[in-house]
Structure 1
């Protein structure tokens, strides 16, 4: 009797496009940055379960901050520029100061070593030890690194370079037009070599390596699609289109369920529309959309750059906010 009543109701919801998926992350909380600080573009956690630390996050003034709980908030953990001074840089929102202060945009911990790898828009690929401080540059000479991830099995670092021509300071200038010189690269920490895997790309977000190390998902922000780059098997070293989206995908992160990923998507970001609609999209390794979580209420008309799942919560970052949003069920 109950089943016969529910079937028409579920059909009604499906016909009218109302989601019946459980876990729509209706609860919202903020992790506020220090006064005057903006731009939590990326986030990462260290450790697992009760030994978990973080989130660690990147901010516009060149620092990597660490969350120490609601009573303390965020504190300094690391920085990328050897010329940086707190007096000149702390609280800075001027991108012209980036070559002095640094601008980290992506983070990824190597769980076996506790070392934090960093993609900085001005200082390239860096790494810092478990105690933080000044990061060591591994590879420089890039124009605009935007994302990275670690292969948990090999230790290889996969990272994105948005352009060979423009840097982060150019994207807000009048008349700016992105080009097709973006690249997807690999850094081997053992021989310290960098290999270009894909080139000729229109914008890059952050890549995500599968837990089993067989493939990587790579976002193409301007083409509104996600590529699947194979690392092993008969398709090794080739890429295929996994999913076309209605918005611009930025960073991709592994979800807590094996074989699933979260993508930060902003509809109307590029080219800029009158209203930007941000959301988190959960997909599987076959490119099937499993869930869509709207962020428009808390991130109204803002482009989101990150959706990071941790202990059943979603940590959402954006370049123009003063907080990390935390969604829970």
Structure 2
């Protein structure tokens, strides 16, 4: 009897932290120009605009009064007829395919991990991005993905999903259980790029803690999240944090709360299902799960990013971004 009560209690506890989204609280924002994949979001210091990269190499700015507007582009050809209307990773080597984005709040610079073309920076006024690096130690980046900026130092952390496969080969990388992903560090003061972690299985996202003491890195293929210590007695070391989040993609810190949102799916035979936003604390404990299958179907949810009581939801392939009231 005692064991039965214990099991029932655990089930009730797990259900209490799971939330099925209310369609009435969800706002769909179609991406203009027949583009797709608002994969990640960055908020400026006003908190009234967000920025996202889409197919064809464009960075879009969104405000409630004006909607989506062109803000920047990765290459000169991103504005050409070649790249207009491109979806997915088509012509990504020519147009660019922005993945992770994040602002340095002190300088206003927007950093972009472009999947095939490398690390870039965009000035506060927008326009053409400047390439910072497309290789490290003589080894080209094959497939950049997640990016975050340390709010305390301005140092940029970014990941490569794979060092063997390119973005157009992502399904092959997943099926092969590739473990060649890496975590990188770019220091704007020294202009140096260094490798911090190797052997990661689909390093899809990263997020620096609000105090700058560590960075979390997701392993999409392995369904694991690791921590790399930046400061303190464990500086330079890494550890597993949790394997309880299925196929984690981007990770985003929630202000200074010490908690993080993670975009999650279930990867079944290389087909993503059951997209959800999962909130964890700094020790990997799952605090809340929001299921968004009603809004996203089986589209791969790439990011959940919270600001002012709203959750901004991105997708790798879909033609829209989502905003959900919490």
Quote the offset at 1:246 in angstroms: 4.9
**1:82 paired residue among 54, 76, 82:** 76
Please name the residue that 1:91 is paired with: 85
Q: Deviations over 1:271-309 (max 9, x none)?
A: 425x61110110111111111111111111121110010
Q: Which runs of 5+ in 1 are unaligned?
A: 1-10
Distance 1:18 1:287 in 2: 15
Q: Deviations over 1:139-177 (max 9, x none)?
A: 113111001101111111100012222110122569963
8 Å contact 1:262–1:283 — kept in the other structure?
yes
Distance 1:22 1:219 in 2: 21
Secondary structure of residue in 2 paired with 1:170: helix
8 Å contact 1:182–1:200 — kept in the other structure?
yes
Distance 1:174 1:164 in 2: 10
Judged with a 3 Å threshold, the aligned counterparts in structure 2 of structure 1 residues 295 and 202 are, in CA distance, closer, same or farther, namely same
Secondary structure of residue in 1 paired with 2:91: helix
Distance 2:246 2:117 in 1: 29
Please name the residue that 1:3 is paired with: none
Judged with a 3 Å threshold, the aligned counterparts in structure 2 of structure 1 residues 180 and 119 are, in CA distance, closer, same or farther, namely same
Please name the residue that 2:238 is paired with: 239
Judged with a 3 Å threshold, the aligned counterparts in structure 2 of structure 1 residues 124 and 276 are, in CA distance, closer, same or farther, namely same
Please name the residue that 2:267 is paired with: 268
The alignment status of 1:58 with 2:53, answered yes or no, reads yes
> Number of paired residues?
313
Structure 2 length-normalised TM: 0.89
Secondary structure of residue in 1 paired with 2:159: strand
The alignment status of 1:251 with 2:250, answered yes or no, reads yes
Q: Which runs of 5+ in 2 are unaligned?
A: 1-6, 136-140
Judged with a 3 Å threshold, the aligned counterparts in structure 2 of structure 1 residues 112 and 175 are, in CA distance, closer, same or farther, namely closer
Greater C-alpha radius of gyration: 1
Q: Deviations over 1:48-101 (max 9, x none)?
A: xxx3232211111110101132x5321100111133333221111263411111
Distance 1:206 1:144 in 2: 12
Whose strand fraction is larger, Structure 1's or Structure 2's? 2
Please name the residue that 1:205 is paired with: 204
Alignment of 1:102-117 (within 5 A): 102-117=96-111
8 Å contact 2:17–2:289 — kept in the other structure?
no
8 Å contact 1:81–1:123 — kept in the other structure?
no
The alignment status of 1:299 with 2:293, answered yes or no, reads no
Structure 1 length-normalised TM: 0.89
Secondary structure of residue in 2 paired with 1:298: helix
Distance 1:204 1:174 in 2: 11
